Amino acid sequence: MTVLTGARERWVRTGGVELCVAELGDPSQPTVLLVHGYPDSKEVWSQVAARLADHFHVVLYDVRGHGRSTAPQPLRGGFTLEKLTDDFLAVADAVSPDRPVHLVGHDWGSVQSWEFVTVKRTEGRIASFTSMSGPSLDHFGHWIQKRMKRPTPRRMGQLLGQGAKSWYVYLLHTPALPEMAWRGPLGKTWPRILRRMERVPSDNYPTSSLPSDAAHGAWLYRDNVRSRLRRPRTDAYAHAPVQLITPLADVFLSEQLYDELELWAPQLTRRTLPAKHWVPRTRPDQLASWVAAFVRSVEGGRQEPRATGRYADRFGGQLVLITGAGSGIGRATAYAFAEAGARVVAVDRDGEAAARTAEMSRLIGAPDAWAETVDVSDEQAMEKLAEKVATEYGVVDVLVNNAGIGLSGSFLDTTSDDWRTVLDVNLWGVIHGCRLFGRQMADRGQGGHIVNTASAAAYQPSRALPAYSTTKAAVLMLSECLRAELADDRIGVTAICPGFVNTNITSTARFTGVDAEEEARRQKRSARLYGMRNYPPEKVAEAILRGIVNNEAVVPVTPEARGAHLLSRFAPGVLRRIARVKPPV
């Protein structure tokens, strides 16, 4: 049984074993060779392979002793990296004799691919290498030695941390025990453990060969780990461009392992994603898009990366939708994402302003940017937008519900129409966004993030902004509740509370209970006050990106917003006093 639908299979005979090789896609396209890890078989890639097959010639094979490939006899000494390199060369020669292949490895597939990409005899056979969750044993050896030789507290911490994460490696070195466990109870419960611990989707994987895969694969460790860590090669330099994808919540490998990887792999492209170890199963969309982009850039002569933003490793190629992106914080956020290499959908009711944001975004690093003219308070328009975005651009990875309007004036002067307007935009706009795009994210099941722009007014009461503050308090609580609900789907929710930021919200805000002339005067006056405060929206945008990367729940931004946030917890009475002060507008 296979979960690789439409795959063409063939057998490659090499060094006493027969390897089962599957191919998908058009063989005239660049070849992408996927190498699986431990304890897996090539079917671990089925979701990724299906997505890549539209554009590339995708090749997968069962590593010797795994899946339907045969095992070497005897097992001991049959899994050395040298023999695995022979296997790789045999497969590459069979499926792509004339052109170098693009390697992609996960876990042990990545460990062995590092060997392939750093030894002399494969030069010219590898066009690029995408590594995930599997360091080179040689680099790892040097990493340990460096920390042993000069043990600073930080280095000792890193060493002990990784040492604890490698517990299973020690167990796999015991004789016979791992085999018995895998062929016995562990093999049976493994799928359930994976679903519970790693939250992989429940489909027909692992395949029935799991017990023997895992039993044979123990020799991968026994044949290589000790010898390589003790005497790491000193010439393990990559001879092809490398893309490193690091899952940040990996329980087996710490991030610091790759700290100095640039020494071994110049021109390294780094990617990070908030996920656990089995990313080929939990994040196939993201992996396929990064692999495809990397392969294309290498095939196209590898231009300098345009996205130079601080979080380019995290947001590169992701789809980000921002409402209220025609000005202020929304626009600055769009630019910050564009600099990080994200694809941007700029939504605003002012179509011209949204188009401008999209245009500038493309200039500063967004591979693609689109403008959509939508009023967030219009439910039908939002539904249409969600549909259009899903069909034309894909499922949104990050949603920023930022659109909002200002309303100032005493409660008794605020008409029900005023209330309706501000609620429609500030609260209903957020609800529509979360409901429609949150549903798409949850259905895809590959994580995501929602950011809602609340306000410091969400916890700072004031006599000047009763309606506005009410809507923002609602947004804050909505975000907190949503965060609890969507945590199971690995979707983060963040509420941003900026404070006084110099944007044009002041000049468009409504002031109740005064005539038009007085309203204009107050708008001007408050705009001037905010201008004097002069806190730039760019800093809020930075806080938004940081909040997503750290998955923070509530992010107060300006010093006054942070101060008020503290007071709201420890001295709310002070805030109530401040609330009674008449603002100077």
Partner 1 sequence: MATALTSERSAELRGFRRVQRLAYECAETVAAQLQPGVTERETARMQREWLRERGVRDWFHLPFAWFGDRTAFVGFRIPLQFFPTDRRLEPGMPFILDMAPVYEGFTADIGYSGSLGVNQVQHKLMDDLQAHRELILREVRERRSLREIYEDVDRLMVRQGYANRHRAYPFGVIAHKVDRVRERRWSPRLFGFGTQSLKGLAADALHGHREGWSPLWSPYRFSDHPPRPGLWAVEPHLGFRGTGAKFEEILVVTDSRDTEESAFWLDDDLPHVRRWAEEK
The answer to the question of residue 348 lying near partner 1 (CB under 8 A) is: no
Q: 279: helix, coil or strand?
A: helix
Q: Which is nearer to partner 1, 400 or 434 (CB)?
A: 400
Shortest CB 268 distance to partner 1, Å = 21
Q: Which is nearer to partner 1, 27 or 536 (CB)?
A: 536
Neighbour-count burial of 99, counting CB atoms closer than 10 A to its CB (0-12 exposed, 13-18 middle, 19+ buried): middle
The answer to the question of residue 520 lying near partner 1 (CB under 8 A) is: no
Shortest CB 360 distance to partner 1, Å = 5
Q: Which is nearer to partner 1, 164 or 532 (CB)?
A: 532
CB neighbours of residue 509 within 10 Å: 20
Shortest CB 536 distance to partner 1, Å = 8
Q: Which is nearer to partner 1, 14 or 504 (CB)?
A: 504
Contact window for partner 1 (CB under 8 A) among 35-43, 173-181, 358-366, 548-556: 358-366
| Spatial CB neighbours of 363, under 8 Å, sequence gap ≥ 6 | none
Output the CA–CA distances (angstroms, integers) from residue 86 to 12, 64, 90, in the order listed.
Answer: 11, 11, 6
Contact window for partner 1 (CB under 8 A) among 14-22, 23-31, 350-358, 552-560: 350-358
Nearest to 107 by CA among 362, 281, 342: 281
How many Cα atoms sit within 13 Å of 549 on the Cβ side?
17
Shortest CB 546 distance to partner 1, Å = 17
Q: 17: helix, coil or strand?
A: strand
Identify each DSSP E strand in 133-279 by its residue range. Answer: 242-247, 269-273
Binding mask 202-241 for partner 1 (x = CB under 8 A): ----------------------------------------
Shortest CB 430 distance to partner 1, Å = 24
Q: Which is nearer to partner 1, 502 or 568 (CB)?
A: 502
Residues marked active site are found at 468
Count the residues of the shown chain that bind partner 1, applying the rule CB under 8 A. Answer: 13
* Residues in a beta bridge with 452: 401, 495
* Residues in a beta bridge with 242: 129
Neighbour-count burial of 249, counting CB atoms closer than 10 A to its CB (0-12 exposed, 13-18 middle, 19+ buried): exposed
Binding mask 45-74 for partner 1 (x = CB under 8 A): ------------------------------
Q: Are 401 and 450 in contact (CB under 8 A)?
A: yes
* Residues in a beta bridge with 398: 320, 449
Shortest CB 126 distance to partner 1, Å = 30
Contact window for partner 1 (CB under 8 A) among 150-158, 205-213, 352-360, 427-435: 352-360
Going by the DSSP 8-state scheme, the letter that residue 249 receives in this structure is: T
Q: Which is nearer to partner 1, 326 or 409 (CB)?
A: 326
Report the residue from 47, 130, 327, 402 that binds partner 1 according to the rule CB under 8 A: 327
Shortest CB 396 distance to partner 1, Å = 23
Output the CA–CA distances (angstroms, integers) from residue 491 to 421, 455, 483, in the order listed.
Answer: 30, 22, 8
The answer to the question of residue 335 lying near partner 1 (CB under 8 A) is: yes
Going by the DSSP 8-state scheme, the letter that residue 263 receives in this structure is: G
Report the residue from 339, 348, 372, 542 that binds partner 1 according to the rule CB under 8 A: 339
Phi, psi of 204 (to 5 degrees): -85, 50
Cis peptide before 39 (omega within 30 of 0): yes
Neighbour-count burial of 234, counting CB atoms closer than 10 A to its CB (0-12 exposed, 13-18 middle, 19+ buried): exposed
Give the tokens for residue 106.
Answer: 């996960």
Nearest to 169 by CA among 126, 134, 123, 208: 134
Binding mask 527-556 for partner 1 (x = CB under 8 A): ---------x-x------------------
Report the residue from 356, 432, 483, 565 that binds partner 1 according to the rule CB under 8 A: 356
Binding mask 478-517 for partner 1 (x = CB under 8 A): --------------------------x-------------
Q: Which is nearer to partner 1, 186 or 364 (CB)?
A: 364
Q: Which is nearer to partner 1, 318 or 503 (CB)?
A: 503
Residues between 359 and 418 with contacts to partner 1, criterion CB under 8 A: 360, 363-364
Q: Could you give the dihedral angle defined by the CA atoms of residues 326, 331, 333 and 335, in that order, rounded to the nearest 10 degrees? A: 120
CA–CA separation, 299 and 361 (whole Å) = 25
Residue showing tokens 């200039």: 363
Q: Which is nearer to partner 1, 107 or 339 (CB)?
A: 339
Q: 410: helix, coil or strand?
A: coil
Please report, as ranges, the residues that interact with partner 1 according to CB under 8 A.
Answer: 327, 331, 335, 339, 353, 356-357, 360, 363-364, 504, 536, 538
